[in-house]
Structure 1
Amino acid sequence: MGKRVLIISSSPRKSGNTDILCERFAVGAIEAGNQTETIYLREKNIGNCLACDSCKRNGGECVRKDDMEEVLTKIMASDVMVMATPVYFYSMNGQMKNLIDRTYSRYLEIRDKEFYFMLTAADDDIRAMDRTVEGFRGFTYCLEGAVEKGIVYGIGSWKKGDVKGKGAYDDAYEMGRSI
C-alpha cells in the first residue's frame, strides 16, 4: 500500500499555476501507487490564530470553530505533505502562513512526515523564492521527524497556465512519482 499524500494549495486563484503544479504532483503520486487528497485553502474558512493560548490549556482544542480542526486531522493522518503557495512580495501568501500559524494548537502531534514545497512566482529569479523556502523550513524545523524531500520552483509564471511551459511542470510530476 502506498503513502497518504496531502497536498495543500494556498492559491486564491482557482486553476492557477499553483493549482496546476498540485495537480501534476498528484498525478505522479497516484501513478506511483499512493493515495492523494488536495485541500484548497480558498475553499476553507480558517481564521487567524488569536495567540490566546487557550489550546494549550484545553488539550489542543482551539477556541475558533472553523475548518482548521478538519484540516489538522488530515495533516496528522498523512504520511507526506505538499505545501504549495504563490510567492507574494518574496514570501508565502497569507493563506499559507495563516494555516501554519493555526497548527500551533497541535503542532507537537504533527510528526514523522515527508515534506515537499511548491512555489510559483512571476519573477524569473529563483532567489526571489528564498524567503518562502526559509519560511517553510522554519515551520518544519518545529516538527519532530520532518524530512524535506524536494522543492519545485515555478519561476516566470504570472498568467494562468504559464507554469505549463516551464520545467516546474515536469518537476512536480516527477517528484510525485518519486514517492
Structure 2
Amino acid sequence: MGKKILIISSSPRKSGNTDILCDRFKEGAIESGNETETIYLREKNIGNCLACDSCKRNGGECIRKDDMEDVLRKMMVSDAIVMATPVYFYNMNAQMKNLIDRTYSRYLEIKDKEFYFMLTAADDDINAMVRTVEGFRGFTYCLEGSVEKGIVYGIGSWNKGDVKGKRAFDDAYEMGRSV
C-alpha cells in the first residue's frame, strides 16, 4: 500500500521552477503507487503568527480563521511531506517560512513524518543553499519522529522553465519514485 504524500509549493510564480519540480516528484510518487496532494501556498490565505499563545490556551486552535487549519490537518494525516521553495537571498521564501511559523499551534501533532526538500535558485552553487536546508532542518528537528529522506537542488534555475534542463528535473522524479 502506498503512502499519503503532501507536496507544499511555496512559489508565488505559477508553473515556475519550484512547481515544475513538485510536478516531477508527484509523477514519480504516483508511478510508485502513492497518493499525492499538492498545496500551492500562493492560493492560500495564511496570515502570520501573532505570537499571542491563544492556541496554547485553546487546545491548539488558532484565533486566526484562515486556510492554515486545513493545511495543518493535511500535514498531520500525511505519511510524507515535500516542502519546496525558491531560494530568495540564500534562504527559503517568506511564504514557506510563514507556513512553518504557523504550525506552532499544533506542531506537536505533526509526528513520524518523512520529509523531502526541494529548492530552486539562480545560483549555480549548492553551497549557497545551506541556509535554506538548515532552516528546514530546524523546523523538522522540532517534530517528533521526523526523518529527512532527500533533497533536490534546482540550481542554475533563474528563468521560468530553466530547471527542465537540469539534473534536478530527473532527481525530483526519482525521489518521488523512491517514496
Asked if these proteins are the same fold (TM beyond 0.5), I'd say yes
Match in the other structure for 2:40: 40
Rounded Cα–Cα distance in structure 1 between residues aligned with 2:129 and 2:65: 33
Match in the other structure for 2:92: 92
Task: Output one character per residue of 1:37-62: Cα deviation in whole Å (capped at 9) or x when no partner.
Answer: 00000000000000000000000000
Matched, 1:124 2:124: yes
Match in the other structure for 1:6: 6
User: Under a length normalisation based on structure 1, what TM-score does the superposition of the two structures give?
Assistant: 1.00
Rounded Cα–Cα distance in structure 1 between residues aligned with 2:2 and 2:16: 28
Aligned length, in residue pairs: 179
CA apart distance, 1:126? 0.6
Rounded Cα–Cα distance in structure 2 between residues aligned with 1:77 and 1:110: 8
Give SS of 2:36's match.
Answer: strand
Matched, 1:110 2:107: no
CA apart distance, 1:78? 0.2
Specify every segment of 5 or more residues in structure 2 that has no aligned partner in the other structure, as ranges. Answer: none
Match in the other structure for 1:29: 29
Match in the other structure for 2:176: 176
Task: Output one character per residue of 1:13-71: Cα deviation in whole Å (capped at 9) or x when no partner.
Answer: 00000000000000000000000000000000000000000000000000000000000
Give SS of 1:59's match.
Answer: coil
Question: Matches of residues 132-151 of structure 1 in structure 2 within 5 Å?
Answer: 132-151=132-151
Give SS of 1:48's match.
Answer: coil
Specify every segment of 5 or more residues in structure 1 that has no aligned partner in the other structure, as ranges. Answer: none
Counterpart residue identity of residue 81, structure 2 = M
Residue identity (%): 87
CA apart distance, 1:163? 0.1
Rounded Cα–Cα distance in structure 2 between residues aligned with 1:177 and 1:90: 28
Rounded Cα–Cα distance in structure 2 between residues aligned with 1:159 and 1:141: 33
CA apart distance, 1:125? 0.7
Rounded Cα–Cα distance in structure 1 between residues aligned with 2:71 and 2:115: 16
Task: Output one character per residue of 1:65-124: Cα deviation in whole Å (capped at 9) or x when no partner.
Answer: 000000000000100000000000000000000000000000000000000000000000
User: Under a length normalisation based on structure 2, what TM-score does the superposition of the two structures give?
Assistant: 1.00
Rounded Cα–Cα distance in structure 2 between residues aligned with 1:14 and 1:141: 30
Rounded Cα–Cα distance in structure 2 between residues aligned with 1:17 and 1:96: 15
